[in-house]
Structures are given as structure tokens and as C-alpha cells.
Amino acid sequence: MARVDLYDTTLRDGSQGEGVNFSVQDKLAILRRLDDLGIDFIEGGYPLSNPKDAEFFKALRSVPLKNAKVAAFGMTRKKSISAADDTGLKALLAAETALITIVGKTWDLHVLEVIGTTLDENLAMIADSVAFCKSQGREVFYDAEHFFDGFKANPDYALATLQSAAKAGASTVILCDTNGGSLPHEVSVGVKAAVKACPGVCLGIHCHNDCELAVANSIAAVEAGALQVQGTINGIGERCGNADLISVGAVLGLKMGHEVLLPGSMGRLTEVSRFVYETANMNFRPGQPFVGMSAFAHKGGMHTHAVSKLARSYEHINPASVGNERRILVSELSGQSTIITKTAKLDMAHDRELMRRILERIQDLEHAGYEFEAAEASFELLVRKTAGTHNPLFDLVSYRVNVEHGPNSSGVSEATVKLVSRGETIHTVAEGDGPVNALDAALRKALVPVYPRLAEMALVDYKVRVVNGRDGTAARVRVVLESKDSASIWSTVGVSENIIEASWLALVDSIDYKVIKDGELSHNS
């Protein structure tokens, strides 16, 4: 199958998404990850739009890239001005990138009603801009903005704009579904018409996701003859976002057999996806295809039973092929086969009576508001407790939390914990930014001398959900804590009518699991 180039515009189009704001260092860090992955082209931004993008292109000159070409993005010359005198085109050249991407008008509505010029002048603006940048030794891509809307309204003129760019020297002409309203069969018709009108010219596709069809439209374009796909990592971008290059790359490479990215890079898609989420300070999408936490998660008993025997019975690809992993979720919907699969590493699967008791315990706790599919560390502790193999780290005597508010107080929380560990009574006090943080500090202050590796553990997320909201302020709440150390991340859960108690239960499980995971329990007990 043919090579399909991937053109990433996360740093430009992606940064236009609501809530997305990359620093220069963020952009450089993402750039390096995309280059390592084997993305062919990376759009860095519009040099004239803001000081940050100007600084990025300046910094780019000292960044060695192994695979990708970086493009500076800008618009055609303004009407009634020469390309050589256009400020925007001068800025593109000043960015000193070997590749320039120029966007121009394709839809006659925009030409006549938005920029207010003639159809012939617009063709000249396109040709002059491409030819000028080409004459300065740059490779030029041309983005045909609103191509599919323009093709519907005036097909002859829309195709003429492509021909104008191609004749002026554009090496690739990209057909843009800028409003994101086209359907796959419409994209296919448009691309085929462009292939016929521009023989020998490389065509690309740039789709927005307003109908949630950006990936489907991109694939339809490739099937119709496009050899470049533009998009963003995780589909971030203006309005509903862009085509998700993660899904596009996986579909083209794993499903259709096209050559994309670098050989062996497909297994890094999950890593790159999560890196961009973290850099953009965005939450992961659990249900994101291929790389989401739930993409290969199995919950129903029938599903988990089948997957334990033959993974491909409920998985369209091997999760490892995109760097993801299979997850077997435990819930009240689980059957014994799920419990057997989840307890395999604990060597308990042979005990069917134990499996039954574990399942019954899970169902009872989930009825009370627990949820173990998002708290696998608490699930393992539940298994150990049910099997009678769990040794608690301590016996609790009492704990107390005091939150002080007043005219002269900034709301400091103080926690006192009294417990017995290894026959010794330990009484500690600690302050924190909130009651849970104070409890965590006091508990670890008590236990770190006994279990030193607890010092390297950190809480990274804290989620609270009301389980039975109809009870108002007396409702039961579920707290899920996410903790990490240098090696792994794990989640625990606690449920109570008292939010502090629910937090305490999740916190104790988190610390308990850390000690068991590191093998300190048998060493110190």
C-alpha cells in the first residue's frame, strides 16, 4: 500500500481549541515527541499572529529534527498588494522554515462576501503567494480552505483555485472541510474531482470534527486518492476539534496496511497521546479509540470470560500494537471468570469457593456505592482480605481533623492520628492544605519510619461523587484517590456518608497497597 504522510497541526490548529494554551517550551517538547514518532510534517504556527509563535520559530533554529519538516503557516497575500510587499508572506519567509503552508479561499461565498474581492483576484492572490514563496527557495503546501463547501456551491471555481496553486508550484494541495459539515461520500466525490482536475499533484485532506466524522472523512479521502492527512493529536482544536491523528494513523497503518510513521512507532501512540494531554493540562478521554483507558477494558461477565480464552473474540487489535493494555474491570456485572482472570497473579484461581465469596463481596459493596473498576488497588486488597492473607499495617486507635477558619486564619487543616503498628503506639500531628492532605501527612508521618518507601508516594488525583443524591447532605459519597510512585500509578476507593471517612478509607488502601506492592510488608512485619 502507498505511503500516506501525516501532517500534524497540534501546535497551531490544536492550540485554537478552547482551554488549550501551549507555552513555547510546551510546543518544543511536543515537537520533539512528534518527530520521534515519525510524523512527516509539523505545523508550528503563524509567525505573525503573536510573539509566542515568533519566539517558537526562532527557538526552532537550534532544535535538530530527525524525521519531520516544520511548516510555518500563513495566508495568501492581501488583495491589491504584491506578494513581495505583503507583511504576512514576509513573516513566513522570516521564520526560516524549509516548508511554508499557505491557506487561501476556495468558496466563492468567502471571496465575494468575506474578503470582498473578485473571483479572478482571488485566483491571482493564490498564485502570486505560492509562486513568491517558491521563488525564495521554499517548498509550499496550499490549504484550500472550505473546499468541500465551495465545491458544492461552485465546483468549477473551487477546482480552479486548486489548479491556480498547483500551477504556481505548490507541491501538495490540501482539501479542507473547514466547517466540519461534510459526509464521507461527499468527501470522496470532492477528492476524486480534485484528482482529475490536478493530475500528478499530491493531494491532502484536512477535516474538522463538527459532525464527528473527521476521521471517517479523512479515511474516505485517502481511499479516493489523498496521500496526506492533516490533523491533531487527540483531535484537539477549534470548536469540536480536528481529525485525531492517533486514530487516523492507527486505522491507516494497522487496518489498511498503509505505510505511516516510522517502522515500530505505532506502539508509541498511547504514550504520545497522553503526553499531549498532560502538556495541555487536559483530562484523558477514557473512551478514546485505540489509546483511551477504556479502549480495551472489559466489564461484562460474558465479555471477560471470552477474552480470557481468546482475546481477539472481543478486541479488534492487540492493545500492545498501539502501546495500550487490556483491562479486566471488576463490578457487580462480573462473573466468576472475571474474578479468576483478575486474581491470576495471586495464584487463587483454583479456589472456586473463594472466587464465589469474592464475587458476592464485590456485589454487596457495589450495591453500597463502591466501584472497583476504577480502583484496582482496592480490589486486590479486598481479594486478600476475603482470602485471609491480608496483614494490616496498623490498628487504628483514632483520628481527628480540625479545620480552622476565621478573620485571622487562612483555613489551615490539622490532622491527628493515633495508631498501633508492630506493637508500638504512634501518635502524630500534621498540617495540610485540606483535611485529606493533612490526614495523608499525619498517617505517613506515623508509618514512614516503619515503611520507608512510603516517602516516595504521592497523591495525584482526588475525585468525589455523591452516590445517592436524593438523600441531600446525608447522601453517601464515593472517594477515589489516584496515587503514584516512580514505578506505577494506582487507584483506591472509599465510601461513607462522611466525606472525611470515605477519604480515610481510600487513603489507607492506597498506603496499604504501596507497601504490599513494594514487598515491604513481609520484610517489616
**Which contiguous run of DSSP H or E holds residue 403?**
strand 395-406
Please tell me the number of Cα atoms within 13 Å of 78 on its side-chain side: 7
Distance CA 43, CA 22 (A): 14
Write the CB contacts of 504 (distance below 8 Å, at least 6 apart in sequence): 399, 439, 494
The values of phi and psi at residue 29, to 5°, are: -65, -45
Residue ranges in the chain modelled with pLDDT below 70 = 300-305, 308-309, 328-350, 373-374, 408-410, 468-474, 520-525
Distance CA 209, CA 321 (A): 26
283-324 residue pLDDT tens: 789 899 999 988 988 776 666 667 766 777 878 999 999 998
Q: What is the DSSP letter of 157?
A: H
Write the CB contacts of 286 (distance below 8 Å, at least 6 apart in sequence): 292, 293, 294
Q: Residue 359, class by beta-carbon neighbours within 10 Å (0-12 exposed, 13-18 middle, 19+ buried)?
A: buried
471-500 residue pLDDT tens: 554 578 889 898 888 878 888 999 998 999
Domains and CATH numbers, the chain: 5-262 (3.20.20.70), 297-387 (no CATH), 395-524 (3.30.160.270)
Specify whether the CB–CB gap between 110 and 145 falls below 8 A.
yes
Q: Is the pTM of this model over 0.75?
A: no
Write the CB contacts of 443 (distance below 8 Å, at least 6 apart in sequence): 399, 417, 428, 507, 508, 511
* Whole-Å CA distances, 459 to 227, 308, 439, 491: 46, 32, 12, 10
Specify whether the CB–CB gap between 4 and 252 falls below 8 A.
yes
Q: Which of 518, 508, 510 is nearest to 421 (CA)?
A: 508
Facing residues of 42 across strands? Answer: 8, 70
What 3-state class would DSSP assign to 391? Answer: coil
Pairing between β-strand 41-45 and β-strand 69-75 as defined by DSSP bridges: parallel
pLDDT computed for residue 429 by the predictor: 96
376-423 residue pLDDT tens: 888 889 888 988 888 888 999 999 999 887 776 667 889 999 999 988
